[in-house]
Structure 1
Amino acid sequence: MGADDDDKTIVEKVMGNKMVMIGVIAMAEVFGIIGLALLIHFSREYYGGYEWGDMKDGLLFTYHPLFMYLGMIFFFGNAIMSFRVMNMLPIPRVVAKCIHGGLHVCTMLFISLGLVAINRVKKNAWMGTNNMYSTHSYWGAVTIAIYVLQFSGGLISFLIPVLSDRIKRTFLPIHRFLGAGIFLMALITVLIGLTKMASTVGQVTGKSFSSYPEWGTVHIFTSCFIGLFVLTVMVVIINSGFKTPPKTTQEK
């Protein structure tokens, strides 16, 4: 035990510290909430706000980035961090699995709502009649498709007891790798979408860029805080010091 500790680098010792882990997770949540607040502010101040039953001025469209951020970034990020958090709590493994799965259900719910929102405005004059016409559209579709397959595979492999432990152990590293990869794909999709959204503010509101001198700044800070949330989540899930102990890693 002592020899193992001596062999670790200073960075490994720091990153394996429980208090450091709590601090990084807390930092991720702060970044995520600030990103959410800025996104809502951007939509309300420069896009006219939110209105589910009205297509005027893109008020329904603003739900699309909101729901997609909540689903593909915020809840997804918390889902893949959840085992690291619950690792520090005296709760049964089955409860940890249910919380992990529940966060993914929230992800699926908000993705569905986001897709409903964008489909309801696809015939709006300023949006055009075709949803699938941009890099954002196709990259997002691929990301969601892979996520659904990943979610289904995880459900069958780890929550429903139908596979052998050997198969579960074999699939677990793949499940983790795909989760991190899809999360990064989601970030790319969201950032492309926010850039596209910022470029259409003039079309939606009928006002020029000069009417909103702080518009670009809010957009940049929104993107930065979303990126920082993803970065800190990746630190938590990739760092070996934060991983679940070997005796509890047979399932995810």
Structure 2
Amino acid sequence: MTRNSYAKGSRDPWNYFSQRAPRRDRNRGALLSSGAMPAPPFIPFSVLLGILGILCVALTVFWNQKWRGGFAWDGSAEMFNWHPVLMVTGLVVLYGTAALVYRVPRSWEGSKLPWKMLHAALTLAAFVLAVLGLVAVFEFHNKAGIPNMYSLHSWLGLATVLLFSCQWLVGFASFLLPWAPNWLRALYKPIHVFFGSAILPLAMAASISGINEKLFLSLKNPTPYSQLPAEAWFANILGMLILVFGLLVLWALAMPAWKRPEPDSQETQQPLLQEAS
């Protein structure tokens, strides 16, 4: 069979595979190629993710209440217990939720203003909780005479918070304020998306390493960590739940069928103040 034998048809066999490229259905936003990864329904997936996020926070609170002595805000060990709760709630659960705002199908139509506001509010709340979490751990260390910033967990955690702070400030200035030109927003957007996705695994690594560090420092007598007492089992399961939650968020961010369509229009690049006017 030669290339000329297809002259009567509208298709060229040498371009067959290019014509079979995945396309997006306008009504469903799903990929229609047989080779594309099938996407589960978004709402049940969101419910599952919400349950996992609530479990991560609830189990962190329960762990510190049952085995670590509860909570206080006086520079004691009980004040330190706020550190894992605030960090998991802010940098993992709230931040992961904020990252998925533009994957909600209802955000695909109409103005982006409400979704910009929601994304900014969730990330700001996550930032405030992260700062309070740092205050809790530094106050405890300073009062107890424990050195700050000596472990890999502390380096990783502080680097995550600093990167998150820069991400929020530059994103606010670029996308929510009117002075950034459109070409600069278009240039910065993929950078913002990349670092937005990178911060979550950093937060997961900091959280899991922090749980592990706390267990190594605390479980010595009478039952060491190596013998897996009940607290070790519980905290290890908590770490795995954090891992599962974060991986599902990253999987949702990478799902082509859930990405917001971005038509070539000036509206998609408008800052908040201009869009609201």
TM-score under structure 1 length normalisation: 0.86
User: 1:213 and 1:251, CA in 2 relative to 1: closer, same or farther beyond 3 A?
Assistant: farther
Partner Cα distance (1:65, 1:225) in 2: 14
The answer to whether the 8 Å contact 1:47/1:59 transfers is: yes
Higher relative contact order (CA 8 A, sep 6+): 1
1:208 counterpart letter in structure 2: T
Q: 2:60 aligns with which of 39, 45, 60?
A: 39
Aligned to 1:219: 235
Deviations 1:77-119 (A, max 9, x none): 1111112126457663111111110001101110111011011
Deviations 1:110-147 (A, max 9, x none): 0111011011111344xx43111100111111111111
Aligned to 1:112: 131
Q: 1:239 aligns with which of 220, 235, 255?
A: 255
TM-score under structure 2 length normalisation: 0.79
Aligned to 2:179: 162
Aligned to 1:24: 45
Partner Cα distance (2:153, 2:218) in 1: 17
72-81 or 3-12: bigger deviation: 3-12
The answer to whether the 8 Å contact 1:69/1:190 transfers is: yes
User: 1:7 and 1:229, CA in 2 relative to 1: closer, same or farther beyond 3 A?
Assistant: closer
For residues 6-155 of structure 1, the aligned pairs below 5 Å read 8-9=33-34, 11-12=36-37, 14-15=38-39, 20-53=41-74, 55=76, 58-85=77-104, 87-88=106-107, 92-125=111-144, 128-155=145-172
User: 1:99 and 1:86, CA in 2 relative to 1: closer, same or farther beyond 3 A?
Assistant: farther
Aligned to 1:228: 244
CA RMSD of aligned residues (A): 2.6
Deviation at 1:250, TM superposition (A): 3.5
The answer to whether the 8 Å contact 2:107/2:260 transfers is: no
Partner Cα distance (1:224, 1:249) in 2: 38
* Structure 2 gap ranges (5+): 1-19, 26-30, 272-277
Aligned to 2:223: 208
1:46 counterpart letter in structure 2: W
87-96 or 25-34: bigger deviation: 87-96
CA radius of gyration, larger in: 2
2:103 counterpart letter in structure 1: R
User: How many residues matched?
Assistant: 241
More helix by share: 1
* Structure 1 gap ranges (5+): none
Of all paired residues, the percent bearing the same amino acid is 24
